[in-house]
Chains A and B, each alone.
Chain A
Amino acid sequence: MTDELRYVYAVCRPPAAPLHADLTGVAGAPPRQLVHEGLVAVVSPVPERDFAHEPLRAHLEDLDWLAETARAHQSVVSALTTVTCPLPLRLATVFRDDSGVRAMLEDESDRLRRILDRIDGHVEWGVKVWLGDSGDGDGGAEPPAARPRSTPESGRDYLRRRRAGNAAREESAARAEVFTRRLYGDLARYAADARLHPAQTGPLTEAGSGRNILNSAFLVPRARSEEFLELIGRAEGTQPGLRVEVTGPWAAYSFTDGPEATDGPEATSGPEAGETP
């Protein structure tokens, strides 16, 4: 079959339990396990007309296609997390054929095993902090104008009101920072590892969420996840105007750089854990 390429979702260690028969992957085909020298690649066939270099490039510009593909990728990885601890791959990792996948498993064997060892028994939790009341869409930082409707506002009043608004906003931003640093520090100490993602902004962010001031991920032993969530639960609600959002459990997407790469671009490892005020 020359018109089929191989899409790889994840690598794990054998023996992974068989995947659910109904599971479908990217492009609708069921994923299968390709075993090579002690590693398993979870792959499915994808058509060359969509996943060769040029069509893939074009598709990645299409949000609907991207969303559908990302969800299919995640559904396979998510199914894997119920039977093993998979090492997820970046979206759209594509090989010509099975022998290309085997060659990759061989070439990358050391690195893959190292990361698999590190994430074994762990899951990833996403923790975000939002500033501002949800629902009003203005970030909640601006206090409502208190001036009476009938009397025109003088320039002086306007400036005073602006200053009061700015002061209130600065104060709430300062409180938010203290809370966020402390939360991140506490969680990072509890977790096996922590990462910061860029703050979420833009149209994909739900309107009315407020401002995203923390977008972080934590690698946590699966067995200690409940305690980890309790830690968040205790912090939640202690600061009015701040909302903590938890996502997961995820496969360890954010921790695939490997322990040796900590001096790389992942120097985004964030605020000093010990720096809590």
Chain B
Amino acid sequence: MTASGDPFAQREIALVDLLDRLLAGGVVLTGDITLRIADVDLVRIDLKALISAVNAQVPSPFAAVDDGRDPPELPPTRDLPDPE
């Protein structure tokens, strides 16, 4: 870790930002044990709904703005719907 006051000092990292990078980024190498993470069932706690990065296809970065008529409900519901 770098000293505080340094612009490169790490703040506490939100899990959602971390998973954006670790599940969708990073170089993909074919390991001896290779799971395509997006193909993992991810059913038990419906991680697909939790982790936007796994649902890789986002047609427009501004989709949320373009259909601004129907903002998604916040805070999130307790029972997660199917991601699709």
Contact = CB atoms under 8 A, between A and B. Distances in A.
Nearest to A203: B76
B5 interface: no
Contact of B33 (A94, A141, A198, A204): A94
User: Interface majority SS on B: helix, strand, loop or mixed?
Assistant: loop
A199 interface: yes
B42 to A, nearest CB: 6
Interface residues of B, number: 59
B58 to A, nearest CB: 4
A139 interface: yes
Size range of the chain A interface in the assembly = 35 or more
A129 to B, nearest CB: 10
A67 to B, nearest CB: 5
Contacts of A181: 62
A53 B33 contact: yes
A201 B20 CA distance: 12
A190 B42 CA distance: 38
A11 B29 CA distance: 11
B65 A88 contact: no
B65 A61 contact: no
A8 B64 CA distance: 36
A70 B19 contact: yes
A35 interface: no
A80 interface: no
B49 A74 contact: no
A34 to B, nearest CB: 14
A95 to B, nearest CB: 5
A91 B23 contact: yes
A229 B68 CA distance: 29
Interface of A: 5, 8, 11, 51-53, 56-57, 60-63, 66-67, 70-71, 73-74, 78-79, 82, 87-96, 100, 104, 108, 111-112, 115, 123, 126, 131, 137-139, 141, 166, 169-170, 172-174, 176-177, 180-181, 184, 196-217, 222, 225-226, 229, 247, 249-250, 253-257, 265, 268, 270-271
9 contacts: A73-B22, A79-B1, A100-B32, A137-B75, A139-B74, A173-B65, A207-B76, A211-B71, A211-B72
